[in-house]
Amino acid sequence: MWKGRFEKDTSDLVQRYGESISYDWRLYSHDIRGSIAHASALNAAGILTAKEFAAIKKGLNQIEKEIDAGTFEFSIGLEDIHMNIESALTRRIGAAGAKLHTARSRNDQIALDIRLYCRDEVREIIGLIRKLQTALVGCAGRHQSAVVPGYTHLQRGQPVLFAHHLLAYVEMLERDAARLADCLKRINVMPLGSGALAGSTIVLDRKLVAKLLEFPTVTTNSMDAISDRDFVAELLFAIALAGTHLSRLSEDVILWASAEFGFVSLSDAHTTGSSLMPQKKNPDVAELTRGKTGRLYGNLMSLLTLLKGLPMTYNRDLQEDKEPLFDSIDTIRMALDVFAEMVAAMKVNESVTLKAASDPFLLATDLADYLVKKGVPFRNAHEVIGQLTAHSLKSGIAFQEIPLETYRSFSGAFEQDLYSVLNVTTALKARKGIGAPSPSNVANELKKWKRQLAPKASVNRNTRNRMPKV
């Protein structure tokens, strides 16, 4: 492709060192979509005849079919996906193929391909987030009355509905989806026409290319357009943060599935055994997800480090953006998919969670609130209940069993009605402020999420990304 200036061939070692076809081949459909749109602009500018344009389109579509079918032969000598496709095209259709790269550089070509790829993937990932949210809402709905202790510091705190706990993850995932949708705004800008760095003296209709590729806008600085990958960095961050949320959920599932908690049972299909200990049933999916989150962070760090200190404009370093990007996308897609499947089959052991949630100390805060309602300042109430807790621990008498006289020896504000507070059901019902886990609040939230997550008939996810006819 650059043979004019050189006298010697590239060394084998350098070819192997510099090739990216072993991983960027997966951009082929985006590369071809971009090339067809570029050829349309060349045709509109009179650089390609209608016949040449038709031959290019036909040739590229044929190449795409062969790559789809696995019959296309890639060559490491041709370095990357762009040159592999262009060279195959020229071999097949001759001169018209050799005109395709007019007013284009691989620098703006790769910037375009990555944007097209990221755009498709972001939409897929958002779809998978919806799938996991739906599974979480489904599990919450199946166990709507299950009560669990809510924890801080992994110490029992106050009772909550299990559904409330799961819906916390639905909220986190909702923000993850919103962050991805926001990234999409910056991804969805068309860079082709920026050339190697300074556009071209052959001026093409960039807006036409944008329209053909369904980009709402075009980039407005050629140097920026080919040299920055900030849109990849923010995508990797959004994915890493979604991974953080999945990793926290993993940790909960791992704890819940342990004998010590026993809160949930995972399906055999989503657990593994031990090669040595016959009794084991391990929550590997959750452990792997927790572990893979490390790669998501690593990929983000790789990319940020890659960009830092690059002089303007394109530098070959940028080729190193692809593997972290592909890896993060593959990893998060799998993790979301497998988690959705696992959660859909997860069962809550409601009698076990109820027993744990019936720990009288979970209602200590409720007792303090009771005193506050009788006019005791909260700090004093807190101290009184602290002393009562010590009394209960020392005597082995649960809050419910302590006689009224004893209560009154700690505070004169206690009356007979204190016992009605000491009940998990009452305690949950009382938490009815916005965002708190009263059963009616949780029921409303479940209804809201079900409505929100129901597939919308108007959005057809299969056709949205398809290249319009040119």
Q: Which residues are catalytic?
A: 153, 274
Contact 227, 312 (CB under 8 A): yes
Determine, following the binding rule CB under 6 A, whether residue 165 of this chain makes contact with ligand ARG. Answer: no
84 binds ligand ARG (CB under 6 A): no
Residue 111 vs 148, nearer CB to ligand ARG: 111
At 114, the amino acid letter reads: I
**Cβ–Cβ < 8 Å for 413, 372:** no
Residue 143 in contact with ligand ARG, rule: CB under 6 A: no
For ligand ARG, which is the closer residue by CB, 318 or 363?
318
Binding mask 383-422 for ligand ARG (x = CB under 6 A): ----------------------------------------
In angstroms, rounded to a whole number, what is the distance separating the alpha carbons of residues 117 and 201? 28
The CB density around residue 409, as the number of other CB atoms within 10 Å, is 13
Q: Is 385 exposed, middle or buried (0-12, 13-18, 19+ CB in 10 A)?
A: buried
Which DSSP state fits 272?
B
192 scored as a contact of ligand ARG (CB under 6 A):
no
Q: How far is the CB of 21 from ligand ARG (least distance, A)?
A: 9
Using CB under 6 A as the binding rule, whether residue 302 contacts ligand ARG is answered as no
For ligand ARG, which residue of 308, 316, 379, 451 counts as binding (CB under 6 A)? 316
Q: Which of 247, 289, 293, 319 binds ligand ARG (CB under 6 A)?
A: 319
Least distance between ligand ARG and beta carbon 98 (Å): 18
Chain centroid, CA 353 distance in Å: 30
The distance of closest approach from Cβ of residue 106 to ligand ARG in the complex, given in angstroms and rounded to an integer, is 4
Which residue, 52 or 80, is less far from ligand ARG as judged by CB?
80
Give the SS3 label for residue 81.
helix
E strand spans, 297-389: 347-348
> Which residues inside 13-42 make contact with ligand ARG, applying CB under 6 A?
20
For residue 324, what are its two tokens?
């972290």
Of 118 and 129, nearer to ligand ARG (C-beta) is 118
Pairing type for strands 155-161 and 147-152 reads antiparallel
Both tokens of 133, joined, read 């949210």
Q: How many chain residues interact with ligand ARG (CB under 6 A)?
A: 9
Peptide bond into 102 cis (omega under 30): no
The CB-of-23 to ligand ARG minimum distance in angstroms stands at 10
Interface region with ligand ARG, contact rule CB under 6 A, candidates 7-15, 103-111, 326-334, 398-406: 103-111
Question: Where does this chain touch ligand ARG (CB under 6 A) — which range of 244-252, 292-300, 314-322, 424-432?
Answer: 314-322
Q: In angstroms, what is the minimal distance from the CB of 319 to ligand ARG?
A: 4
- Decide: is 80 part of the binding site for ligand ARG (CB under 6 A): yes
Distance CA 55, CA 382 (A): 82
Tell me if 221 sits within 8 A of 199, measured CB to CB.
Answer: no
Residue 441 interacts with ligand ARG (CB under 6 A)? no
Instruction: Work out which of 318, 343, 346, 442 binds ligand ARG, going by CB under 6 A.
Output: 318
Contact assessment for residue 113 and residue 75, using Cβ atoms and an 8 Å cutoff: no
Beta bridge partners of 190: 218
Q: CB count, 10 Å around CB of 16?
A: 11
Those residues whose C-beta lies under 8 Å from the C-beta of residue 139, and which sit 6 or more positions away, are 166, 343, 344, 346, 348
Shortest CB 15 distance to ligand ARG, Å: 13
Decide if residue 113 touches ligand ARG (CB under 6 A). no
Place of tokens 């704890």: 255
* Nearer Cβ to ligand ARG (40/227): 227
Q: What angle do CA 175, 176, 179 make, to 5 degrees?
A: 85
Of all helices (H) and strands (E), which one includes residue 265?
strand 264-265
Rank residues 80 and 445 by Cβ distance to ligand ARG and give the closer one.
Answer: 80
Nearer to ligand ARG, 134 or 227 (CB): 227
Q: Is 106 in the site for ligand ARG (CB under 6 A)?
A: yes
2 or 277: CB nearest ligand ARG: 2
Site residues, ligand ARG (CB under 6 A): 20, 80, 106-107, 110, 314, 316, 318-319
